[in-house]
Amino acid sequence: MITLLGLLAGLLTTGCWFPQLLRSWRTRSTGDISWTYLAALTAGVGLWLLYGCLTADLAIICSNAVTLGALITLAVFKAVFDRDAGRLVPQKTEGADPT
């Protein structure tokens, strides 16, 4: 029963990533998502996955494996969409007013 509760909690918290992935895909925009946020959250989820593996906790393993996949997908979207929008590397413009 406890594992079922954990799996349900994981389904709800992991499932919340799919609307963001769908929105990012449809709009081709991830400019409002920071790299720092993605990196910190991905590292944390990766550590939770490792913890789940070390403790053999099925709910933690399943939830965090799917969430990690969603975050990696979002990071790929961000890299591609930011590059396409010219946001990966700040552009220098000659003769521009620095103020």
Per residue in 43-84, pLDDT tens? 999 999 999 999 999 999 999 999 999 999 999 999 999 888
- Cα-only R_g, the chain: 18
Q: Which residues contact 73 (CB under 8 A, 6 or more apart)?
A: 21
**Size (the chain), residues:** 99
What span, in angstroms and rounded, lies between the C-alpha atoms of 63 and 11?
7
Query: Taking the domain 2-85, which CATH number applies?
Result: 1.20.1280.290
Q: Show the tokens assigned to 55.
A: 């403790």
DSSP 80-93: HHHHHHT-SSPPP-
pLDDT tens for 10-54 read 899 888 889 999 999 999 999 889 999 999 999 999 999 999 999
- Residue-level pLDDT at 24: 92
- Residue-level pLDDT at 96: 56
pLDDT band at residue 92 under the 50/70/90 scheme: low
Look up residue 32 and give its DSSP letter: T
